[in-house]
Amino acid sequence: MNSHSFSLKPFQSSSTLPFLAISGNIGRRSKTLTISYTLHGLLSEVIIPAPADVPARKNALWEETCFEFFLGTKNSDRYWEFNLSPDEHWNVYCFKSYRQGMQEELAFESLPVSVQRKPDVL
């Protein structure tokens, strides 16, 4: 498997944010892409949705709490945005170019999402 670890940094903000750190790993084996995120810190200061009874495709997850990742193809402006929520709802969008032509990507009927929760780690 070809894999890479990463860590994310928050955008500059004028508001005070609780101490949080996000790290992860992305890997590919054959035609399967796997991505994992780990959120560490004062999770009691963050609104984290409870697990859904039935995880499903849901719009506008970015307005709540979700993890995102973006996939593009070399030499093309086209890309896909994947939204994964801690409640296990999800969605995938296709864009023609940067933030242009957003459409749900119907090639995905489901995404395997798994969430493990601990007091200071998600």
Q: How many CB atoms lie within 10 A of CB 122?
A: 20
Q: Is pLDDT above 90 for 121?
A: yes
Query: Which domains, from first to last, does the chain contain?
Result: 2-104 (2.60.40.1190)
Comparing 20 with 74, the larger pLDDT belongs to: 74
Q: Give the rounded percent of residues in the chain with a pLDDT score beyond 70.
A: 95
pLDDT tens digits, 5-26: 999 877 777 666 668 899 999 9
Q: Check: CB of residue 71 under 8 Å from CB of residue 105.
A: no
pLDDT tens digits, 88-105: 999 999 999 999 999 999
